[in-house]
Each structure stands twice: as C-alpha cells, then as structure tokens.
Amino acid sequence: MLTPEFQILSVASWLVVVTFLQLSLFPSLKKCLGQYAFPASFAASLLIFTLLTWYCGLVQIPIQIALVPFILLFGYHIYHRNYAWNELRKEWKWELIFLIFFFLMLTVRFVNPTISYAEKFMDHGFLASIMRSPIVLPLDPWFAGGSMDVYYYLGYWIFGCLGIISGVPSNIAFNLSLPTVLGIAAVMVYAIGSMLLERFRWLPLLLFFLPNPSLIYQIILGNPLSTALWNSSRTITNTINEYPLFSFTWGDLHAHVISIFNQVFFIFLLIYLYKYWESLEARSKWLICGLAALSLGSMPLINTWDVLIFAPITIIIAALIIFRGWKKGLDYSSWVQLVLIPPLSVLIYLPFYIVLKTSTGGIGIVKIPSDPIQFLLVNGWFISIFLLFLIKDIRERPYLLIIVVPFILTGYFAAAIAAIPLIYFIAKKERSVPDILAIFGLLILILVELFYLKDNMGDTYFRMNTVFKCYVPAWIILSISAFSMIGIWFAKPGRIPVLPAKKSAALAVLVIGVLFVIPFFVPLNLNYGGWTLDGLSYLDTTHPGDAGGVAYLRNLTGDERIVEAVGGDYTYYSRISSFTGIPAILGEPFHEFMWRGDTTGWYSARPADIRSIYENPDQTISLMKKYNATLLYVGDLESQTYNVSLPATGLEQVYSGQGTTIYRIAG
C-alpha cells in the first residue's frame, strides 16, 4: 500500500493542477460571464486542457505541452494584474463549494476505495492504459492489438492526463477523479441556482443527495442499506435506473458518472444564453457559444448518449432565442453564433469521428414499457412536485388531460403519467426557465418509454442501456427544475423568514459536518476494506501473489502485451490488464463483444489460443508471437483455470514471488 504521506501529497498535487488550470482561465471569462466566470472556469479549463492534451496525443507529442498555453495565460494575467486580492476574495464561496464536495466525495472513496467490483476493473484499466501510453487512439487493455476506437474514452483521458501532470499514479487518480467530477458539478449547479433563485440558491444541490422513492421503499421493506441501494437502481424491470446519489456512492468511474460535470456545465451555458443573450456583446456571444460547442463536442467522446439528448435541446433553446429576437425585430447577425454551435462541436473533435468504428442497431419501438408503479418509484418525486405546482392549471383546463388517452389505449401507462405535467407546462402562456427544464426532462422520460436504441444486450435487456444512459441526465434536469420551483415558492413573502447570517452559517456547518461523518458509519465497502486512497491496497491481504506481480508490472514502461487467464465478466478475471493497463490478449469477453461484435471469430479464437499458450508448450511461443505478447503471467487464477505446462526454452523468468511467476519471451 502506498504510504499515507504519499497519498496526502497526491491529493495536494492534484488540487494544485486543477486550481492552476482554473485560475489561468478565470480572468479571461470575466467580461462575458461576470459573476459566474469563476465557477464556469472550473469546467471550462478542464475541457480546454482535455482538448489540448487530446491533440497532443493525436500527433504523439508529450501531453505536458498542453500546459504551455495555461502557463502563458497565467503569466499574461499576472502581468496585467488581473488577480487582485480584493476581487479574488469575493469568489471564496465558489472555491468553498468545490472543496466541500471534493472532500466529501474523497471521504466516500477513502472509506471504500477498492478497484474491485462492478465496472471498476474496466474503469481503472482504461485509466491505467492511457497513463501508460497517452496516445490517440488509446490502447485497449482488454484486446491486444486493438484500440479504444470502439468506445467513448475521453472521460478516462481527462483524469489520466491530470494524473500524469500531477504525478499521481492511476490507483490513486482513480479515487481522486469522482471527487473532482462532483466538486465541479456542484459548483455549476450552485451557479445555476444563483441564476434562477434570489434565495435558497443551494436547493438544486439536493439533486446529489436525493434518493429515489424506491430506496425509501426498499428500506421500509427491511432490506440492508447496501441491498436497498442496489435494488433502487434496478427498480424498472430489466433496466438500470441509476441516479447521482447511487452512482457516486457506488463509486464506478464510469462514463455516465464522469459526464455529469460536463452535462451540468452545458445546462448552465444554455440557461445563461437563454437569460442574457440580448444583453451580451458580440465577443461574449462568440466566447460563450464557443464554450458551448466545446462542451457539446466533448459529449460523444465522454458519454455518447449525452449528445443524443443535449443536441436537440441546444437546437430548441437556440430556436427560442432566435424567435424571441425575431419578435423584437433583431436581424440575423444577432444569432449567427447560436447556429454555429452544432457544427463547431463536430469540428472540434472531428478526428474522433473519422476513426470511430462502433455502431448501433438503429431505433426500436418499446413493446414492453415500464410498469407504472416502478416508474413512479424512480421518478415519483418529480411528478408529484410538478403536479402540486400545476393544480391550478389542471383545474382551469381539465380538458388537456385528453393527452393521456392515446398512451393509455396503447398500454404506455408510465408515459401517460409523465404526459400530464408535460402538457400543462407546454400550455402555459408564460414559461419560466424551470418550466422549460421540466418540459425537457419529462420529454426524455416519455421518449424512453416509447423508443430504445438497439444493441447487443439481447431480448430480455433490450432497453437496459437506453434507460440507463438517459435517466441520469433526466434526473439532473428534473431535479434542477423541481428544486428551483420549490425555491421560488419558499422565497415568497410570508413563507420562510430570512435567517440571520450567524444562524445560517451555523446550520450550514452542522449539515456539512453530518455529511462528512455519514460515510464512516454506512457499510458500503462490501468487506473489501478501506481507509486509504490506494485502490489496489486490498491486494496485499486478499491476493498477495498478485500484489507483488502487479507492482512489478506497473513499473514497466514501453510497448508490452501480456497473457493472463480469461474468464467471465464482472469476476476477478482480467485483473492484471485492469490493474496495470498493459494490454492482454483478451480481457472481459462480453464487454469486448458488445463493442466489437464478432465478425472475425475472435470471441472463440482468443480464449482457445490463451488456453493453448498455458497448456500446450509446443504452441506457447508461436501463439504469444501471434498477438505480439511479450509477457506471460502465471498466478493463482491461471493455475486454477488451466493445466499449466510451459516450454523449457523460449521464456525467461523475470519475476517470482508468493506463488506468482512472470515470464518474458527470451530475447
């Protein structure tokens, strides 16, 4: 296990890099974003840094070169005295929010840090592969000779490059990444709350703490918390319906979680454009639309599903702004920047699309929609809140309820439930920003009830990924909308009095203190151990042979490929490639099948060749050379899986310890 001192230095180094990037950009955004420049610079600087490092990787130059523009920008602002202390002091609340949420999530990871179950093998494998060899295309650690041209990998690239720059190894960077995602997302959500609310600006932050009704129901049934938490994310039959509280607590550094900071940043930019477009100068419009294009353009590479949701929303928001300007008599020159957001978003990462090999099976119609009770156990809070605020509208125009009839007659009862508040929000004569957000969120829920994207998940789980990837942005949008409506209602005269500043501060300290204590009393480590930020420390006690072998391999540099045992997904198989980032002949087979298909027959050929490497000494060397494998790993799992029989010549032992032996092809 890495020493506590090294872990503390890793956290400090990581935060220094993140803060340096943010401060370098902050003054450049002040003219166009005003009071929101400081929070926006957290996400914007990270996305710009990512873009620069990605192109460094594309042309295969050191990614450290991406720091040069930030260094120059920082020097420029120092020279022009743009870091006046009196002005920086005014931004303390944004920095405080980032640090509170960063360290809150860091506490959760400290208690449960292990890279040990669910998608964590994949997440760390991608992260470690990028940190070993930060090139574009990144190497696929589970398919020797293959690259990540079949999957969206930019989220891992972001934090892999932060790890490289800050000198933090992947097994700690893994546990610093989600705290960074949550910290930046929280800052942006608070910025949105500040734009939409005069008081109770913190209310939208509850989206990160809100459980779905199913979790409450599971606890009432008497299930243990860990079981209740898991079941609450699998409420709708044969689907995954994650929400932020579950996702961050569960701790997978997966694409749908990484993307949350970018989703919230993009929502912030769209709301800002919608509220202030006519008052912005041309230069500010270009800059903000450029940031929107960067954010939208990053979505296909971070979590492709997001762009399917936010690209149409972008077009609708742009259309609303243009229509509003048209009614005011403004000419086309006042909205040309909006029209350029979608094409610019594609151009920014155009090389990604040129080499992309993945595809979907098209759009299908959902024939087995969600059970309405299960639907409400996931989305019931939002539906209830919206209906409460729409009671007057429903009483005045009950005839609009006819909208649910087609859904009921065709058996789409869950869609009918969501359609009720939707039609009343649409029918409003004057719609606020929370109303518009509610429309978007409800539309997502309805569309997911009617359509799905086809993939290789089979007939039973045909819509699992569609619900999985669409429900997270829907939750974010619906939460911001619902909590903003509640905040507006609370702020009305006579509802909730304004607390004195000292009492407000004391209450905030108390709540934050309780939040930091909770992770230490909630049994979420699944008996893997914790109290460290080293995600691989558990190997020292559970798999000591692998602990030594992995430590040896993680110190190797250069172009290596390894042979290890292959077995089922979501098991301890694929652990060496996952822990080191060194490509194996084959890692988790079903994941690779989902991404690549099996047009060449590799799905059966590679496992058979791996077995022959271990069991047929006459074929060991030739089959290793077939895949350009340089290393052969023999640990407890390999000995249990195969009748290991290796050739007397052609391999040289380079490591041995506690039942693990590693060989290299001689010469």
* Same domain, residue pair 170 and 31: yes
pLDDT band for 325, please (50, 70, 90 cuts): confident
CA distance 474 to 477: 5
CA distance 8 to 11: 5
Residues 6+ apart with CB under 8 A from 204: 189, 190, 192, 193, 196, 479, 480, 483, 484, 487
Residues 210-251 have pLDDT tens digits of 999 999 999 999 998 889 999 999 999 999 999 999 999 999
Euclidean distance between the first and final Cα of the chain, in Å?
33
Q: Could you give the angle at which helices 260-276 and 433-450 cross, rounded to 10 degrees? A: 130
Q: Among candidates 562, 555, 566, 564, which has minimal Cα distance to 631? A: 562
Within a domain: residue 161?
A: yes
- The pair of structure tokens assigned to 518 is 């909770």
pLDDT band for 524, please (50, 70, 90 cuts): low
Q: Is the pLDDT of residue 329 over 90?
A: no
- Residue pair 443/422 in contact (Cβ under 8 Å)? The answer is yes
Angle at 656 between CA 651 and CA 660, to 5 degrees: 95
* Same domain, residue pair 527 and 631: no
Within a domain: residue 100?
A: yes
Residues 88-101 have pLDDT tens digits of 999 999 999 999 99
* Same domain, residue pair 627 and 649: yes
- Residue pair 526/118 in contact (Cβ under 8 Å)? The answer is no
* Same domain, residue pair 92 and 157: yes
CA distance 278 to 287: 15
Within a domain: residue 202?
A: yes
* Same domain, residue pair 659 and 529: no
The CA-based diameter of the chain, rounded to the nearest angstrom, is 87
pTM, to two decimals:
0.97
pLDDT band for 522, please (50, 70, 90 cuts): confident
Helix (H, G, I), strand (E, B) or coil at 277: helix
Give the end of a domain, one of 535, 553, 580.
535
- Domain hosting 619: range is 543-665
pLDDT band for 526, please (50, 70, 90 cuts): low
Residues 130-188 have pLDDT tens digits of 999 999 999 999 999 999 999 999 999 999 999 999 999 999 999 999 999 999 999 99
* Same domain, residue pair 43 and 100: yes
pLDDT band for 8, please (50, 70, 90 cuts): very high
pLDDT band for 498, please (50, 70, 90 cuts): confident
Q: Among candidates 201, 209, 250, which has minimal Cα distance to 504? A: 201
For residue 235, report the phi and psi dihedrals to the nearest 5 degrees: -75, -50
Within a domain: residue 376?
A: no
Q: Is the pLDDT of residue 431 over 80?
A: yes
- Residue pair 369/408 in contact (Cβ under 8 Å)? The answer is no
* pLDDT at site 210: 98
The secondary structure of the chain in percent helix, strand, coil, rounded to multiples of 5, reads 65, 5, 30
CA distance 442 to 170: 39
* pLDDT at site 527: 66
* Same domain, residue pair 50 and 182: yes
For residue 603, report the phi and psi dihedrals to the nearest 5 degrees: -60, -30
Within a domain: residue 276?
A: no
DSSP assigned state of 530: -
* pLDDT at site 359: 65
Average pLDDT over residues 423-432: 95
Within a domain: residue 425?
A: no
Q: Could you give the angle at which helices 170-196 and 120-132 cross, rounded to 10 degrees? A: 110
Give the end of a domain, one of 480, 511, 535.
535
* Same domain, residue pair 577 and 509: no
* pLDDT at site 176: 98
* Same domain, residue pair 514 and 582: no
Average pLDDT over residues 10-38: 97
Half-sphere exposure of 651 (CA within 13 A, CB side): 29
* pLDDT at site 155: 98
* Same domain, residue pair 55 and 158: yes
pLDDT band for 525, please (50, 70, 90 cuts): low
Average pLDDT over residues 582-588: 97
**Mean pLDDT across the chain:** 95
Q: Is the pLDDT of residue 599 over 90?
A: no
For residue 59, report the phi and psi dihedrals to the nearest 5 degrees: -95, 5
Alpha helices per DSSP H over 410-432:
413-427
Query: Length of the chain in residues, anyone?
Result: 667
**Number of folded domains in the chain?**
2
Residues 436-455 have pLDDT tens digits of 999 999 999 999 999 999 98
* pLDDT at site 411: 97
Within a domain: residue 105?
A: yes
Helix (H, G, I), strand (E, B) or coil at 364: strand
Residues 254-275 have pLDDT tens digits of 999 999 999 999 999 999 999 9
Q: Is the pLDDT of residue 1 over 90?
A: no
Within a domain: residue 334?
A: no
* Same domain, residue pair 18 and 79: yes
* Same domain, residue pair 556 and 659: yes
Sign of torsion over alpha carbons 614, 615, 617, 619: negative
Reduce the secondary structure of 328-355 to three states and give it as a string.
CCCCHHHCHHHHHHHHHHHHHCHHHHHH
Average pLDDT over residues 8-32: 97
